[in-house]
C-alpha cells in the first residue's frame, strides 16, 4: 500500500504520545503502526469502521527502534466486552496473539519497517464485533512485545473462548517473562455504526445506562465466567456472548 509523505509525517509525529488508553497498564509511549488494508490507525484512539478491521492488520515499527535480529509478538485486546450476568464490570477479550514477527525488507516512507510472520497463533485473529445494542464504542488495544528466545505456547492454549475472556496482560507478562511492550496503538469500533466510521481521535466517550460503564480509564478484568466454546463458530459466539447479559 502506498502512503503519501504527509500521511507518514503525521503518523510519526505522534510517536511521543501515549499509545494505550488512559489507565491501561502497561503504559506505552512508542507507536505501533497498525494498517488494515486501506485504513491506517494514524492516531491512537481513532475510530474506524468494523468492516475495515475484518482481517488481521499489517504491523510496522519505527526503523530507529527496530532490531533485525529480534523476534516480536503481537497481541490485540478488546477492553470493553459487556459484563457477565450479575455483574456491571466490563471484561477483556484476547482477539489475537501472533508470534514470530521479524523485520522485513519493506519500509514505509523510509521511516518504519514492516513486520512479517509465518506463524498463525497461538490465538488466531478474531475481528472486532461490538454488539449493535451496546451503549459505547469498544477500545481495541494492539501491543508489540519482544519475544523471548525460549517463548513457547501450545496452539491449544486459546482454543476455547473461556481462555480468551478476562485476559490479564500483566499476569501473562509475569508468567512468561515478557518485558514492557516495545510499542502499542489502539482504535475504537462502534457497533452502532456499521459502515462509515466517524472521526474521533480520542479514547473517551459517553455511554448509556446499560451496562453501567462508559469509556472510562481501564480498571482491569472482572471475575472469570464459566464460558466454554470451541474454535468452530467463534465469530458467531462473539455476538451472542456480548448480548446474553443485556
Residue-wise pLDDT tens digits, 138-182: 999 999 999 999 899 988 999 999 999 999 999 999 999 999 999
Residue-wise pLDDT tens digits, 180-219: 999 999 999 999 986 444 433 333 222 332 333 333 444 4
Which DSSP symbol is given to 210? Answer: S
CATH, residue 187:
3.90.280.10
Is 8 within the bounds of a domain? no
State how far the alpha carbon of 102 is from the alpha carbons of 76, 88, 181, in Å. Answer: 18, 40, 15
Is 1 within the bounds of a domain? no
Cis peptide before 243 (omega within 30 of 0): no
Is 2 within the bounds of a domain? no
Is 135 within the bounds of a domain? yes
pTM for the model? 0.74
Is 46 within the bounds of a domain? yes
Is 174 within the bounds of a domain? yes
Q: Which residues of 61-89 are buried (b: 16+ CB within 10 A; e: fewer)?
A: bbeeebeeeebbbbbbbbbbbbbbeeeeb
Is 227 within the bounds of a domain? yes
CA-nearest of 19, 237, 32 to 129 is 237
Is 214 within the bounds of a domain? no
Residue-wise pLDDT tens digits, 52-95: 999 999 999 999 998 889 999 999 999 999 999 889 999 999 99
Q: Rg (Cα) of the chain, in Å, rounded?
A: 17
Cβ atoms < 10 Å from Cβ of 117: 17
Q: How many domains does the chain have?
A: 1
Average model confidence (pLDDT) for the chain? 78
Q: Which residue has the higher pLDDT, 55 or 240?
A: 55
Range of the domain at 53: 14-204+223-243
How many residues are given for the chain?
246
Residue 7 has pLDDT above 90, yes or no: no
Amino acid at each position: 500500500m502506498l502512503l503519501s509523505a504527509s500521511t507518514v509525517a503525521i503518523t510519526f509525529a505522534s510517536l511521543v504520545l501515549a499509545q494505550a488508553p488512559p489507565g491501561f497498564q502497561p503504559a506505552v509511549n512508542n507507536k505501533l503502526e497498525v494498517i488494515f488494508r486501506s485504513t491506517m490507525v494514524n492516531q491512537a484512539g481513532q475510530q474506524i469502521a468494523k468492516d475495515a478491521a475484518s482481517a488481521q492488520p499489517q504491523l510496522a515499527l519505527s526503523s530507529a527502534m527496530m532490531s533485525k535480529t529480534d523476534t516480536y509478538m503481537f497481541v490485540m485486546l478488546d477492553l470493553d466486552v459487556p459484563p457477565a450476568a450479575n455483574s456491571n464490570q466490563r471484561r477483556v477479550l484476547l482477539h489475537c496473539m501472533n508470534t514470530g514477527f521479524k523485520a522485513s525488507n519493506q519500509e514505509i516512507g523510509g521511516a518504519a519497517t514492516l513486520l512479517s510472520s509465518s506463524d498463525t497463533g497461538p490465538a488466531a485473529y478474531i475481528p472486532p464485533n461490538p454488539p449493535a445494542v451496546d451503549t459505547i464504542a469498544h477500545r481495541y488495544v494492539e501491543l508489540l512485545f519482544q519475544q523471548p528466545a525460549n517463548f513457547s505456547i501450545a496452539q491449544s492454549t486459546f482454543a476455547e473462548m473461556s481462555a480468551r475472556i478476562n485476559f490479564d496482560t500483566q499476569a501473562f507478562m509475569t508468567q512468561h517473562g515478557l518485558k514492557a511492550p516495545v510499542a502499542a496503538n489502539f482504535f475504537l469500533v462502534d457497533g452502532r455504526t456499521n459502515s462509515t466510521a466517524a472521526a474521533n481521535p480520542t479514547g473517551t466517550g459517553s455511554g448509556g445506562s446499560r451496562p453501567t460503564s462508559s469509556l472510562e480509564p481501564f480498571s482491569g478484568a472482572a471475575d472469570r465466567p464459566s464460558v466454554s466454546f470451541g474454535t468452530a463458530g467463534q465469530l458467531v459466539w462473539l455476538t451472542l456472548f456480548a448480548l446474553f447479559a443485556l
